[in-house]
């Protein structure tokens, strides 16, 4: 059997690079290109294990050590567990999908039997499909995190009444009470909360300014975490994002 070492090395380097790149993008790690290239180079060196006669356990242990070294070289020690978990997760997604493509082309079905038809997935298809899978995963993961990762259960208690709402953390909500520097939670104007003591908080945005009618709640719980030093502001417009009832201030991000 002939092994084209340069071709195997190139394939390993190519796929290891996009795996490390995807891990960095999904976790929003800022990694320099040279570290990604160095990590890919370390990962590609594992092809030399093909020439070492090892039992299954030793081979697994050695691959585990190499993967740890890859993560340390690329990302450093910070968030090591999260980095290596996502690296393996993305590797499984890519490897499993390519394997599915290979099975689909390589075997044909006759009844309950799968028979080799000699049409294995080729190099070009691997190079084309691999990046598509990875970048699709990156896009969907980032979209999910941005859309649903910042959604919280909010409970507002006022006048001994509790209102259970669905809130979204918005980095654009920088509204602060100028008198006591309290952050403002904006709620939909269709939410019926009875309150007579209002505080009027001025705001200034791009090409617009105005006043938000606010009131002081007894307490606010966001995912069971208590916030007391805040106000509830009534939005002039209804929110139309995923049935959101309120928009949480950016300042809450530090504690959630």
Residue 55 has pLDDT above 70, yes or no: yes
DSSP state of 91: H
pLDDT grade for 34, boundaries at 50, 70 and 90 = very high
- Domain span at residue 223? 151-254
Task: CATH number of the domain at 164, please.
Answer: 2.40.70
Check whether residue 169 and residue 128 sit in a common domain. no
Confidence at residue 121, expressed as pLDDT on a 0 to 100 scale = 56
Instruction: Identify the sign of the CA torsion 78, 81, 86, 87.
Output: positive
pTM of the model: 0.59
Which residues are bridge partners to 109 per DSSP?
114
> Contact 15/94 with Cβ under 8 angstroms?
yes
pLDDT grade for 134, boundaries at 50, 70 and 90 = confident
To the nearest whole number, what is the mean pLDDT of the chain?
81
Residue that terminates a domain, selected from 118, 148, 178: 148
pLDDT tens-digit series, residues 69-124: 999 999 998 889 989 999 999 988 888 777 777 666 665 555 444 455 554 556 66
Cβ atoms within 10 A of the Cβ of 231, count?
24
Check whether residue 15 and residue 103 sit in a common domain. yes
pLDDT grade for 147, boundaries at 50, 70 and 90 = low
Cβ atoms within 10 A of the Cβ of 28, count?
8
% of the chain surpassing 90 pLDDT: 25
Instruction: Identify the CA nearest to 20 among candidates 73, 79, 81, 59.
Output: 73
Check whether residue 39 and residue 76 sit in a common domain. yes
Check whether residue 107 and residue 138 sit in a common domain. yes
Min mean pLDDT across 60-69, 100-109, 133-142 is at 100-109
Which residues are bridge partners to 227 per DSSP?
220
Check whether residue 62 and residue 49 sit in a common domain. yes
Mean pLDDT within 224-248: 84
Min mean pLDDT across 4-8, 78-82, 205-209 is at 4-8
Check whether residue 117 and residue 212 sit in a common domain. no
Q: How many domains does the chain have?
A: 2
């Amino acid at each position: 059997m002939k092994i084209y070492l340069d071709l195997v090395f190139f394939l390993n380097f190519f796929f290891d690079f996009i795996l490390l790149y995807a891990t960095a993008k999904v976790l929003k790690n800022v990694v320099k290109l040279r570290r990604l290239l160095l990590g890919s180079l370390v990962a590609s060196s594992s092809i030399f294990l093909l020439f070492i006669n090892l039992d299954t356990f030793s081979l697994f242990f050695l691959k585990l050590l190499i993967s740890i070294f890859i993560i340390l070289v690329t990302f450093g020690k910070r968030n090591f567990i999260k980095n290596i978990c996502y690296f393996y997760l993305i590797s499984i997604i890519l490897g499993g999908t390519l394997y599915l493509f290979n099975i689909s082309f390589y075997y044909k079905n006759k009844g309950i039997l799968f028979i080799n038809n000699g049409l294995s997935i080729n190099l070009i298809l691997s190079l084309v499909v691999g990046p598509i899978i990875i970048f699709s995963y990156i896009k969907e993961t980032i979209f999910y995190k941005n859309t649903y990762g910042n959604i919280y259960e909010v409970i507002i208690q006022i006048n001994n009444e509790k209102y259970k709402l669905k809130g979204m953390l918005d980095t654009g909500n920088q509204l602060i009470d100028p008198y006591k520097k309290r952050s403002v939670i904006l709620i939909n104007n269709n939410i019926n909360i009875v309150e007579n003591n209002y505080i009027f908080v001025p705001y200034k945005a791009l090409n617009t300014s105005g006043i938000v009618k606010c009131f002081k709640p007894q307490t606010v719980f966001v995912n069971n975490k208590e916030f007391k030093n805040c106000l509830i502001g009534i939005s002039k417009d209804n929110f139309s994002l995923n049935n959101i009832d309120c928009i949480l201030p950016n300042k809450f991000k530090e504690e959630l």
